[in-house]
Amino acid sequence: MKAAVIDRWGHPPRYTDFPDPEPGDGTLTATVEASALTNLTKGIGNGTHYASRELGLPMIPGVDGVARLDDGRRVYTGAVPPYGMLAERTLLNARDMVELPDGIDAVTAAAVPNPGISSWLALEHAAALRPGEHVLILGATGVTGSLAAQLAASVFGAARVVVAGRDTTRLAWLRTVGADDVIDLRNDDVRARVRALHAEQPFDVVLDYLWGDPAAQVLAALADGPTGSYHRTRFVQVGAMADPTMPLPAALLRSTGIQLRGVGIGSVPPAVLASARAEALPRLFDMVGNGSLELRTAARPLADIADAWTTTDPSGTRVVLTP
């Protein structure tokens, strides 16, 4: 079969032949219909994500996607290494799949779970967002950040959603789908803007998809209040699109009510993840299907994997590969 195959860490996949998967104890083979090219897939495939350390080479990347079982059912699923979802066929765990509803196409269905479940877990589990609270989303013009902004307003009942990003067109669009205010990371004084907004009405939750200097500016702004003042702000680290590291003064955590935690593979109990997939995914599929949640996609053939892997995606658009 044809597949995207990684032979060396740090090099893009090659579109080439790979042995067909063989079913075994507790596994099934299936025909892949679509798989989203997520930052997680790229990070694992490049060998830069912490989950890469458990994998050997050669391997097929593709964390999750849509597959059709031999009995005709369409499912959302992950794959069993060394098989990923960026292939014509894959190997999957028979106990780890979600049947898809009628009416949602494979490309859209493949694009929803990664940003949808990540946003849901960040808001519900890590941030424990409650109705009426105030939220800042740092890096909201990306695919996952924009979904989080929509969900915070429409599902979780946030009283105020402030979004920060670099794409001014996307920032303006976010105002139409639930954002109450915007911060332009290219042109605004981020620390001053966050300080003023936090003084006006303290942020209860920050979702951070950037880390690096933008996160440092936000954390400093949250600590700029009068000495001894207290407000509990749950700062949830989700992604590091700006920089994987940043300086964090010890006094900042001692002098504020900021609570830091992260969302990613290994930080969420398996039972919580399973519950989110069982309960949130059907709602997310329905919301995207009926237009109450917007997610932009761009389909590309799997044969274009080398170019797609190294090309910057259109802002706020999830590239989905189809065999």
Domain limits of the chain? 2-113+294-321, 127-262
Is 197 in a helix, a strand, or coil? helix
Distance CA 248, CA 223 (A): 12
Using pLDDT thresholds of 50, 70 and 90, give the confidence band for residue 272. Answer: confident
pLDDT bucket at 197, cuts 50 / 70 / 90: very high
Give tens-digit pLDDT for 62-103.
Answer: 999 999 999 999 999 999 889 999 999 999 998 888 888 888
**Is the pLDDT confidence value at 176 over 90?**
yes
Report the 10 Å Cβ neighbour count for 167: 18
The predicted structure's pLDDT at residue 51:
72
What's the pLDDT score for residue 249?
A: 93
The chain-wide mean pLDDT, for the chain, equals 91
Task: Give burial (CB, 10 Å; 0-12/13-18/19+) of 29.
Answer: middle
In angstroms, the CA 270 to CA 150 distance is 26
Q: Give CA 170 to chain center in angstroms.
A: 17
Amino acid letter, residue 310: T
Residue pLDDT, tens place only, 220-266: 999 987 765 789 999 999 999 999 999 999 998 988 999 999 988 77
The amino acid at 299: A
Class in CATH terms, 127-262:
alpha beta
pLDDT at 277: 80
What's residue 228's pLDDT?
59
73 with 92: CB under 8 angstroms? no
Q: Which residue has the higher pLDDT, 186 or 275?
A: 186
pLDDT the model gives residue 102: 82
- pLDDT at position 308: 93
Domain 2-113+294-321, CATH among 3.90.700.10, 3.30.2320.20, 3.90.180.10, 3.40.50.300: 3.90.180.10
Q: How far apart are CA 227 and CA 315, in angstroms?
A: 40
**Cα angle: 57, vertex 264, 144; to 5 degrees:** 105
Note if the pTM is more than 0.85.
Answer: yes
Strands 89-93 and 27-36 turn out to be: antiparallel
DSSP string, 57-106: SSB---SEEEEEETTS-EEEEE--TT--SSBSEEEEETTSEEEPPTT--H
